[in-house]
Amino acid sequence: MTDDRAPTAPTELIAMMPFARVLGIELITASADEVTATMANRPDLGTTFDTLHGGAIMAMADSVGALCAFFNLPEGATTSTIESKTNFFRGVRGGSVHSTSRPLHVGRTTIVVQTDLVDDRGKRVAQVTQTQVVLPAT
């Protein structure tokens, strides 16, 4: 991404996505090669037995994956998720979920991103693969 107007500070990037703020996503690193973030398990994001809702986990992966795609866009282009697949492996009870998003494919019309999510013990919680469309500048 070569657009000098693009935000680079983690707080500026999250500010671009109000829902990510609602979820409490904290961005750790952000580059074209990798975006990392964390999100605390809170009662308002949960299901039963202090378990983080799967939809919250998917929303986190979508948000962080979209940022990874954003950093791989050509100048002036935007992006939107057109497909997302989630595999869940275990629940997140208490603590936080941590995500790492990396591009699998950066093409002219689509960007495919894989997001790995782990709990505080480093145990894999879920893996999300999403496709982002590249919307060229008009």
Phi-psi region of 136 (alpha: psi -120 to 50; beta: other; left: phi over 0): beta
Angle at alpha carbon of residue 44, lines to 39 and 46, rounded to 5°: 75
* Interval 48-94: pLDDT, tens: 988 999 999 999 999 999 999 999 999 999 999 999 999 999 999 99
- pLDDT of 15 higher than 70: yes
Instruction: Label residue 138 by pLDDT band (50, 70, 90).
Output: confident
Domains annotated for the chain, with CATH where assigned, are 10-135 (3.10.129.10)
* Interval 20-47: pLDDT, tens: 999 999 999 999 999 999 999 999 999 9
Token pair, residue 15, equals: 């500010």
Q: What is the pTM of this model?
A: 0.91
